[in-house]
Amino acid sequence: MSKPVPITDSDFEKTVLQSEKPVLVDFWATWCGPCRMVAPIVDELAEEYAGKISFVKLDVDQNPKTAAKYSIMSIPTLLIFKQGKPVSHIVGFRPKEELRRSLAGVLG
């Protein structure tokens, strides 16, 4: 079963920016209600897109450097990176179909 992998400021570059395949980064925090609502959807998408897109989670409270670098002002924020560059930016809770369209756009 494929699940989003927790990452930190220290492994962000290697895990996300140097990845051969696209990476969805879920910027979240433990106290964030909408983050808990989107998490099961992100888990399902990680399963669906296993092998095509990597899924990671970054706790903004524990890793403020990366959150600041990408101007994360609201959570949940989902950034999709391709070849080390952010190509899609989704803020707030979104339905699964909308997230699926964003992922398809990155793969297409």
Pick the CATH number of 5-107 from 3.40.50.2300, 3.40.50.720, 3.10.450.50, 3.40.30.10: 3.40.30.10
Indicate the burial class of 55 (C-beta count within 10 angstroms; 0-12, 13-18, 19 or more). Answer: buried
Question: Residues with catalytic annotation?
Answer: 32, 35
pLDDT at 108 over 90: no
Query: Above 80 in pLDDT, residue 14?
Result: yes
Indicate the domain borders of the chain.
Answer: 5-107
Q: Can you give the pLDDT at residue 1?
A: 61
pLDDT tens string 98-107: 999 999 999 9
Q: What is the pLDDT of residues 1-10, one digit of tens each?
A: 679 999 999 9
Question: What are the tokens at 3?
Answer: 């699940």
